[in-house]
């Protein structure tokens, strides 16, 4: 997970703008890539591919979570 408390305020604001401006195209891309990685993960046959796809899915999920959590971090500071 991305620890937004350790990120620069500028970066957290950029994540917040994604949600506030309704940037559905980019958020949709993140969601689609996460789902694609999960779908490929189900069909993976070797551990190297499994680990790679787990990391890919987790990275996109972390980005989506960070976009949702950015408002909380900005409001606390």
Annotate 44-57 with three-state secondary structure: CCCHHHHHHHHHHH
Per-residue pLDDT, 39: 97
Neighbours of 64 (CB within 10 A): 16
Q: Which domain holds residue 61?
A: 4-76
Rounded-to-integer distance, Cα 55 and Cα 35, Å: 13
Query: Is residue 3 left, alpha or beta, with left meaning phi > 0 and alpha meaning psi from -120 to 50?
Result: beta
Per-residue pLDDT, 77: 66
Per-residue pLDDT, 57: 97
List the chain pLDDT tens, one digit each, 77 residues.
Answer: 789 989 999 999 999 999 888 878 999 999 999 999 999 999 999 999 999 999 999 999 999 999 999 989 988 86
Total tally of structural domains belonging to the chain: 1
């Amino acid at each position: 997970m991305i620890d937004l408390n350790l990120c620069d305020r500028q970066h957290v604001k950029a994540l917040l703008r994604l949600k506030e401006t309704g940037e559905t195209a980019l958020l949709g891309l993140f969601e689609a890539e996460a789902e694609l990685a999960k779908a490929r993960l189900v069909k993976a046959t070797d551990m190297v591919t499994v680990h790679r796809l787990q990391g890919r899915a987790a990275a996109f999920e972390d980005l989506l979570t960070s976009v949702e959590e950015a408002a909380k971090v900005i409001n606390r500071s």
